[in-house]
């Protein structure tokens, strides 16, 4: 750790190191490294904007999660939506991970990398008949059903296929996860799941259906959760429902606790995997069940950075300073969508430079295309590079092609080697599905 790096970075990265033990990005002689690769060397080969992921960080996070649940029977079903790059999925499958999917596309991705269908769970409020059919035919572990109508659809499709569909009900426990309202999912006003007050009666009707096999119960209360209480309270509500079901002879094998464990972006103080495991398992004591976990952000969030080049710097009225970079909200939506904070650090530190206050802005024609407002940092010149930190989760997976900008390339680092794991979109990639009607040509 260098003394001369910007203060904020030192604070964050010291925090990460002590609390989460995830320290795969560091400065060595003023150069940012990912594992043992110099980030500017990676950019020289693959350009910017570029996502760079640390394999060992991902592996370590996965292992922390499995270690924390130790002797409890459990499956870590990585939440594919957090980062669905095939190389990352394959890395996790090789470690024995299952997958949490929310669309036919994600299910295909999971199968493409050889994920055992018996470790795949499928949630989502709007599964179509085709998606449900595909899931049943694939023989996945469990469909997390989110409404009574969906339950009937599953029953009808399963009966037409003459297969018993493995189903858990996703319960909405009405718990405040104390996170950003846009990523709360377990409050009664949210669209997700079946009300905890109705759950037992829906289970009873599931029991009467010929092609439904009740395999479990599930919930997911939100994302970037930093406290024990919401998790603990959700589990208490699930246990109560499980007890009511046991009393009427409906056994529950799998307890799917969703995802949601938060990470450090700035100065958060997240739970360790061990704290989290305690909050989940203590209320479930005495149950003979398999715990299914659906972590996304915890596994990949701190393992990725988005590297971007400074294109211009300029000053507006009132000495407002702007640093215009070549990444934009089409590459990383979190700041514009949730006002999310991401640390932004230079790829090369110049210790002699005094910090300035700047706005880091993308090239898209919208005011919200901004990564940071009034950020104190080392001034940069056109041609220099910045790293937007902790963008491994919900970065590339939410990227789009607004302004006809191709989505960026992705690189996976392994020790002192780095591998291109996705090319950047070309203009042909963006336009090739468009059809020009004859009358225009």
Closer residue to ligand LLP in complex, CB, 2/368: 368
CA atoms within 13 A on the CB side of 112: 13
123 versus 323: smaller Cβ distance to ligand LLP = 123
Least Cβ distance, residue 384 to ligand LLP (angstroms):
27
- Minimum distance between the CB of residue 38 and ligand LLP, rounded to whole angstroms? 28
Radius of gyration of the chain (CA): 23
The residues of the shown chain that bind ligand LLP, judged by CB under 6 A, are 79, 82, 100, 123, 183, 185, 220, 223-224, 258-261, 294-298, 334, 393-394
CA 213, CA 234: separation in Å to the nearest integer? Answer: 24
Q: Which is nearer to ligand LLP, 123 or 378 (CB)?
A: 123
Closest separation in Å from C-beta 356 to ligand LLP? 29
How near is the Cβ of 82 to ligand LLP at its closest, in Å?
A: 5
Identify whether 365 is a catalytic site residue.
yes
DSSP state, residue 368: T
Decide whether 264 or 393 has the Cβ nearer to ligand LLP.
Answer: 393
CB-facing half-sphere around the CA of 319: CA atoms within 13 A: 2
Q: How far is the CB of 265 from ligand LLP (least distance, A)?
A: 10
d(CA 316, CA 58) in angstroms, rounded, equals 41
C-alpha of 180 from chain center = 15
Q: Which is nearer to ligand LLP, 5 or 264 (CB)?
A: 264
HSE-up (13 A, CA, CB side) for residue 49: 27
Could you give the CA distance from residue 310 to residue 384 in angstroms, rounded to a whole number? 6
Q: Which of 37, 145, 228, 365 is labelled catalytic?
A: 365
Q: Note the helical H segments in 210-332.
A: 228-247, 273-281, 297-300
Question: How far is residue 336's CA from residue 332's CA, in Å, rounded to a whole number?
Answer: 8
Task: Determine contact, residues 227/271, Cβ cutoff 8 Å.
Answer: yes
What is the phi/psi pair of residue 111, to 5°? -70, -40
> Count of residues for the chain?
441
Kindly list the catalytic residues. 365
């Amino acid at each position: 750790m260098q003394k001369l790096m910007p203060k904020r970075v030192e604070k964050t990265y010291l925090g990460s190191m002590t609390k989460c033990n995830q320290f795969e990005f560091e400065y060595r002689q003023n150069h940012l490294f990912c594992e043992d690769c110099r980030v500017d060397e990676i950019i020289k080969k693959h350009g910017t904007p570029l996502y760079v992921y640390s394999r060992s960080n991902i592996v370590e996070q996965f292992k922390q999660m499995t270690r924390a649940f130790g002797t409890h029977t459990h499956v870590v079903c990585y939440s594919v939506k957090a980062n669905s790059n095939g190389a990352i999925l394959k890395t996790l499958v090789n470690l024995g991970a299952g997958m949490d999917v929310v669309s036919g596309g994600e299910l295909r991705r999971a199968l493409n990398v050889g994920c055992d269908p018996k470790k795949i769970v499928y949630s989502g409020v709007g599964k179509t008949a085709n998606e449900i059919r595909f899931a049943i035919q694939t023989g996945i572990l469990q469909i997390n059903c989110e409404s009574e109508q969906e339950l009937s659809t599953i029953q009808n499709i399963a009966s037409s296929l003459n297969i018993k569909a493995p189903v858990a009900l996703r319960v909405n426990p009405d718990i405040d996860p104390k996170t950003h309202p846009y990523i709360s999912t377990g409050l009664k006003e949210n669209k997700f799941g079946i009300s905890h007050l109705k759950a037992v009666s829906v289970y009873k009707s599931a029991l009467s259906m010929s092609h439904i096999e009740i395999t479990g119960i599930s919930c997911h209360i939100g994302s970037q959760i930093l406290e024990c209480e919401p998790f603990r309270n959700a589990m208490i509500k699930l246990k109560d429902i499980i007890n009511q079901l046991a009393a009427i002879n409906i056994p529950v094998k799998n307890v799917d606790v969703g995802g949601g464990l938060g990470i450090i972006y700035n100065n958060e103080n997240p739970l360790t995997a061990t704290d989290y495991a305690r909050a989940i398992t203590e209320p479930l004591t005495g149950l003979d069940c398999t715990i299914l976990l659906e972590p996304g952000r915890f596994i990949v969030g701190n393992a990725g950075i988005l590297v971007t080049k400074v294109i211009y710097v300029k000053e507006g009225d009132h000495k407002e300073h702007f640093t215009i970079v070549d990444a934009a909200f089409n590459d990383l939506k979190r700041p514009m969508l949730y006002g999310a904070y991401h640390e932004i650090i230079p790829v090369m530190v110049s210790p002699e430079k005094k910090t300035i206050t700047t706005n880091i802005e993308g090239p898209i024609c919208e005011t919200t295309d901004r990564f940071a407002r009034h950020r104190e940092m080392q001034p940069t010149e056109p041609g220099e590079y910045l790293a937007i930190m902790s963008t491994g989760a919900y970065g590339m997976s939410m990227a789009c092609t607004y302004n006809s900008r191709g989505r960026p390339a992705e690189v996976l680092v392994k020790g002192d080697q780095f591998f291109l794991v996705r090319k950047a979109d070309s203009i042909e990639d963006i336009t090739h599905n468009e059809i020009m009607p004859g009358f225009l040509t």
